[in-house]
Amino acid sequence: MSQPAYVAQDKAEKAPGEVDEIDQDFSSSDDTLTAIIVADHQHDIKLRTMSWQKAAWLLAGEQVCLAIMAQSWSLSVLGWVPGILTMLVAGALFWITSITMHKFIMKHPQIMDICDFGYYAFGKSRIAYTFTGFMLLANNILLIGFHILTGAKILNTLSDHSLCTVVFSVIVMLMGIVMSAPRTLHHVSFMSMFSAACMGVSILLFLIFAGTEKAPLYGYNGNYPTDGPVRTYAFPLPGTTWVACMNAVLNITFLWVPQILFPTFISEMERPQDFPKSLAVLAGISAVLFIVPPAIGFRYLGQYATAPAFGSLGVVAYKKASFAFVIVPTVVIAVIYANVSAKFIYCRIIMRQSRHAHSNTVIGWAVWGLTMVVIWILAFVFSEVVPSMGDFLSLLGAAFDSFFGFIFFAVAYWQLHRQDLFSGPRRAIMTAVHVLVLCCGLFLLGPGLYAAVEAIIADYSGGTAPAFSCANAAI
Q: Are the C-beta atoms of residues 144 and 316 closer than 8 Å to each other?
A: no
Percent of the chain past pLDDT 90, that is, above it, reads: 66
Higher pLDDT: 7 or 220? It is 220
Reduce the DSSP state of residue 350 to 3 states and report it: helix
- Which sign does the torsion angle of CA 395, 396, 402, 406 carry? negative
Q: Are the C-beta atoms of residues 265 and 55 closer than 8 Å to each other?
A: yes
**Taking the domains of the chain in order of start, what are their residue ranges?**
48-461
pLDDT (tens digit per residue) in 244-276? 898 899 889 888 888 899 999 999 999 999 999
Is the pTM above the cut of 0.75? yes
Q: Are the C-beta atoms of residues 248 and 87 closer than 8 Å to each other?
A: no
Bridge partners of residue 223, in order along the sequence = 218
Query: What is the four-CA torsion angle of 132, 138, 139, 145, rounded to 10 degrees?
Result: 160
Rounded to the nearest 10 degrees, what angle do helices 52-63 and 275-289 cross at?
A: 30
Confidence of residue 9 (pLDDT cuts 50, 70, 90): very low
Q: Among 101-105, 272-276, 285-289, 381-385, which stretch is predicted with the lowest mean pLDDT?
A: 381-385
Smallest Cα–Cα separation from 385: which of 145, 144, 66?
Answer: 145
User: What's phi and psi for 386, nearest 5 deg?
Assistant: -80, 120
| Cα–Cα dist 48/51, whole Å | 9
Arithmetic mean of pLDDT, 178-193: 90
Confidence of residue 175 (pLDDT cuts 50, 70, 90): very high
Q: Amino acid identity of 356?
A: H
Q: Cβ contacts of residue 137 below 8 Å, gap of 6+?
A: 341, 344, 345
Q: Cβ contacts of residue 27 below 8 Å, gap of 6+?
A: none
Q: How far apart are the first and last CA of the chain?
A: 40
Q: Are the C-beta atoms of residues 88 and 251 closer than 8 Å to each other?
A: no
Given a cut of 50, whether residue 18 has pLDDT beyond it is no
Largest CA distance in the chain: 74
**Cβ count near 137 (within 10 Å):** 19
435-443's contacts with Cβ under 8 Å and 24+ in sequence apart are: 435/410, 436/93, 437/93, 437/96, 437/97, 437/406, 437/409, 437/410, 437/413, 438/406, 438/407, 438/410, 438/411, 440/93, 440/406, 441/402, 441/403, 441/405, 441/406, 441/407, 441/410, 442/402, 442/407
Residue 420's alpha-carbon distances to 111, 117, 120, 417, in angstroms, are 24, 22, 19, 5
pLDDT (tens digit per residue) in 84-117? 999 999 999 999 999 999 999 999 999 999 999 9
Confidence of residue 24 (pLDDT cuts 50, 70, 90): very low
Given a cut of 90, whether residue 371 has pLDDT beyond it is yes
Arithmetic mean of pLDDT, 309-336: 95
Q: Amino acid identity of 399?
A: A
Q: Are the C-beta atoms of residues 474 and 306 closer than 8 Å to each other?
A: no
Cis ω for the linkage preceding 308 (within 30 of 0) = yes
Number of H helices and E strands in the chain, helices first, is 21, 2
Q: What is the pLDDT of residue 26?
A: 41
| Cα–Cα dist 193/74, whole Å | 28
Q: What is the pLDDT of residue 40?
A: 85
Higher pLDDT: 7 or 294? It is 294
Given a cut of 60, whether residue 1 has pLDDT beyond it is no
Residue 279's alpha-carbon distances to 99, 235, 418, 457, in angstroms, are 9, 32, 26, 38
Arithmetic mean of pLDDT, 137-152: 92
User: What's phi and psi for 400, nearest 5 deg?
Assistant: -105, -45
Smallest Cα–Cα separation from 1: which of 268, 344, 239?
Answer: 344
Residue 199's alpha-carbon distances to 206, 254, 333, in angstroms, are 11, 18, 11
Reduce the DSSP state of residue 238 to 3 states and report it: coil
Three-state SS annotation for 92-105: HHHHHHHHHHHHHH
| Cα–Cα dist 173/147, whole Å | 9
Query: What homologous superfamily is domain 48-461 in, according to CATH?
Result: Hydantoin permease (1.10.4160.10)
Backbone region of residue 236 per phi and psi (left: phi > 0; alpha: psi in -120 to 50; beta: other values): beta
Percent of the chain past pLDDT 70, that is, above it, reads: 92
**Cβ count near 183 (within 10 Å):** 23
